Amino acid sequence: MLSSRVPPTTHPRRYATAALAIVVLMVMLSVRLYDLQIVHGDEYRLLSEQNRILRLPVAAERGIIVDRNGVVLTRNLPGFSVSVIPIDLPVATQVALAERLGALLGREGKDVLSAIQLQRTQNPYEPVRLSLKPVPREVALALVERADAYPGVRVDADAIRSYVDGPLYSPILGYVGSITPEELDARREAGYLPDDAIGRTGVERVYERFLRGTYGWREIERDAAQREIQTLAHVPPKPGGNLVLTLDDRLQRILQKELDQGIAKDTFSQAVAIAMNPQNGEVLAMVSTPAYDNNIFVTGATSAQLRQIYTDTRHPLVNKAIGEIYPPGSTFKMVTGLSALSEGTATRNTVVNVTATSFTIAGTPFFDWTAHGSLDFVNGFAHSSDIYFYSLAAGSPMSNNPGVGPEAIAKYGRMLGFGAPTGIDLPGEASGIMPDPAWKQATFDEPWTIGNTYQEAIGQGFVAVTPLQLLNAYAAVANGGTLYAPHVLKQVNDLGGNATYVPKAEITRKLAIPSEQLRLLREAARRVVTIGHASMPNAKLPIAGKTGTAEFGASSGKDSAGRNLLGFHNWFVSFVPKADNTDPTAEIAMVIFTFDSSKTLCELCLNPAVAMTQRVYEAYLATPVKP
């Protein structure tokens, strides 16, 4: 038997130390776990959800835009977009991937890379769109089939905005473009996403809220290899509303054809035409030419295209119907006349005996285009006698009329909508200038002269109007005294064609002008065509109107062909009563403005807008117009 047993250990304290060490280590692990799971657990929970759950927006189709008869002006073509979710793209491979994607998408690799990097810093779980323009089907398929070679790359169906007849409607429709970071910041609450398109200008911008639908969402669960395991939730998108405009495509095309022909023949270099219904302010057509093809802004304009647009001195990006101001010329005699009639300084029987083509005041000669002889109001207006309206405005050596004065003219001018935007539902509308003595003093620090009154009386000098203002003022005369805010939106329809929004005809004001004076103006305007300045041979319609010539004459010099550099800009503003009478029944009014129409050497050639107006009305009204 063993006498002395060997003790199992001579170092029991080391065992105690080991036991203590084990306990301490386990406590340390528990503390770290407490920090991870209890203190920061909710953050990691979120990360684990972000890991596996991808919440993908499902784009809502933007509403289309049609004319009043349902002619499609803007549609959405099917296409593809390419985007990258940075969290799924390894940093080590992103440079190479950006290069390859750039080559496929027609972008610089470094631009693609910086877009990815920017998104990585902002929200790496959200896709960033890399395709600036719609991606062809072959490229989309190649990317999908070789998904393993393009980590983090997504290909989605994406509608491409397509403007059916680019330049014809671009001044009205505008276009959509990618949202900028600043715009996004302001609109995140409204559900905008970084890849969103947003209406940049025109109707696309003004009615963005209707056109844009509401994003749907698809929540998918993914494994680490980015395969979709299942769809967890799906909220379908709500498509945008379809806009029905007040425009009539048929009239728009008739006008465009006329104006294009004029430019082609070099009768003028730019032109504007607007037609509206005087009874409710609906704009029936609005052509501003030359315009631009808005499709190039959707698909990505080349620098050559942009250069061409930006260097064109005719400003194709500007809707000249509302965005440029011009001297109204003799069309403004309506304002002078109405102010004198309304203030009682003149009646239809006020006679001025225009015995010469000019008179002189304080050494300054004031001209008329001919020695008309004795003129009453209707004849003065019909023959567009400058001296007749000089006399109504400020008196003259050829008349004993006291003149109504510049303040009264400005008052009635403003009443008729000059000097302020008309309030049309399009962006970029100019105010124009309705001058008076106070305005001149404030602007130029100079006193008003009688010469200023004479110039104002015939729409020259300081007064400047947009074509739409001029049309709108005549429309108010044509409808018996209601100034509307013109509008291009007729209604908004849902997918089923039911109206979800119909704007009310917005009345800016009722004119404080006796109705018999307006009737006299309608009569005088009709006389312009029948006996006066705007001869319309074989006219089939009771067209009334007023010509105007914004004259710069020879003052701006001549070009090498001997033509005035800035010669005449011609106006014809008109309306067509239902019958050949003076009743306020016109359902169409129109203005045509031809810029630089003195390109022909003949300075007193007939105003080209007059013949165009006759042809347009006769072509358009030959077919019954739907209300």
Q: Shortest approach of another protein to residue 94 CB, angstroms? A: 10
Q: Shortest approach of another protein to residue 168 CB, angstroms? A: 51
Q: Shortest approach of another protein to residue 9 CB, angstroms? A: 5
For residue 614, give the nearest of 545, 558, 511, 512 by alpha carbon.
545
Asked whether the beta carbons of 248 and 284 are under 8 A apart, the reply is yes
Write the DSSP string, 306-361.
HHHHHH-TT-TTS-HHHH--B--GGGGHHHHHHHHHHHTS--TT--EEE-SSEEEE
Q: Shortest approach of another protein to residue 50 CB, angstroms? A: 9
Asked whether the beta carbons of 73 and 134 are under 8 A apart, the reply is no
43-72 residues in contact with another protein (CB under 8 A) are 43-45, 47-49, 51-52
Q: Shortest approach of another protein to residue 76 CB, angstroms? A: 36
Choice between 22 and 606, CB closer to another protein: 22
Choice between 223 and 446, CB closer to another protein: 223
Choice between 24 and 502, CB closer to another protein: 24
Residue 220: CB atoms within 10 Å: 17
Burial annotation 438-457 (CB, 10 A radius, 16+ → b, else e): ebbeeeeeeebbbebbbbbb
12 scored as a contact of another protein (CB under 8 A): yes
User: For tokens 């006759």, what's the residue?
Assistant: 614
Residue of 75, 100, 133, 222 that binds another protein (CB under 8 A): 222
259-288 residues in contact with another protein (CB under 8 A) are none
Q: Shortest approach of another protein to residue 53 CB, angstroms? A: 9
Number of residues near another protein (by CB under 8 A): 49
Choice between 87 and 361, CB closer to another protein: 87
Site map 18..47 versus another protein, x via CB under 8 A: xx--xx-xx-xxx-xxx-xxx-xxxxxx-x
Residue 619: CB atoms within 10 Å: 16
Rounded distance between C-alpha atoms, residue 345 and residue 402, angstroms: 7
The tokens describing 22, both together, are 């084990």
Cα separations (Å) of 318 from 56, 166, 387, 435?
38, 14, 36, 24
Choice between 75 and 120, CB closer to another protein: 120
Q: Shortest approach of another protein to residue 54 CB, angstroms? A: 12
Choice between 7 and 363, CB closer to another protein: 7
Rounded distance between C-alpha atoms, residue 92 and residue 9, angstroms: 56
Asked whether the beta carbons of 86 and 128 are under 8 A apart, the reply is yes
Q: Shortest approach of another protein to residue 88 CB, angstroms? A: 8
The distance from CA 141 to its chain's CA centroid, rounded to whole angstroms, is: 37
308 scored as a contact of another protein (CB under 8 A): no
Choice between 133 and 222, CB closer to another protein: 222
225 scored as a contact of another protein (CB under 8 A): yes
For residue 570, give the nearest of 396, 353, 331 by alpha carbon.
331
Q: Which amino acid is at 118?
A: L
90 scored as a contact of another protein (CB under 8 A): yes
> What DSSP element (H or E) covers 271?
strand 270-276
Choice between 47 and 565, CB closer to another protein: 47
Choice between 13 and 626, CB closer to another protein: 13
444 scored as a contact of another protein (CB under 8 A): no
Site residues (CB under 8 A) for another protein?
A: 2, 5-12, 14-16, 18-19, 22-23, 25-26, 28-30, 32-34, 36-38, 40-45, 47-49, 51-52, 89-92, 221-225, 227, 229
